[in-house]
């Protein structure tokens, strides 16, 4: 005998898989005992425990990590586009206008 793979939600009557904990449509619990346990847990949250940090791990927001050369910034640099033979920077946008709102903007060369 084959069993049903879905059964209706008790709140919205949407068909929900048999082993689902909650209805995907309205969020209702499919098992009343599970809903009761969930509400009980939510009413008595565990206390948050704060512990002291060792003094050597404490830092302030103003501290910054410096690299070996003394520069407070990291070594990331943006590179500029390489210049072509005509002296203009190459644009590899694949035929997309550099400024679609400005028809006078230089258009990239098409790749043929």
37-74: b or e for each residue (b if 16 or more CB lie within 10 Å)?
Answer: eeeeeeeeeeeeeeeeeeeeeeeeeeeeeeeeeeeeee
For the segment 89-108, the average pLDDT, to the nearest whole number, is 59
pLDDT tens for 42-86 read: 999 889 988 887 888 777 655 555 555 556 566 677 777 766 555
């Amino acid at each position: 005998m084959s069993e049903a793979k879905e059964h209706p939600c008790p709140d919205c009557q949407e068909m929900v898989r048999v082993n689902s904990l909650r209805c995907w449509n309205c969020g209702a619990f499919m098992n009343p005992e599970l809903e009761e346990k969930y509400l009980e847990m939510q009413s008595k949250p565990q206390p948050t425990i704060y512990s002291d940090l060792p003094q050597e791990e404490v830092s302030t927001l103003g501290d910054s990590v410096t690299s070996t050369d003394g520069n407070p910034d990291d070594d990331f640099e943006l590179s500029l586009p390489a210049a072509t033979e005509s002296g203009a920077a190459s644009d590899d946008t694949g035929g997309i206008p550099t400024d679609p709102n400005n028809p006078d903007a230089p258009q990239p060369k098409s790749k043929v």
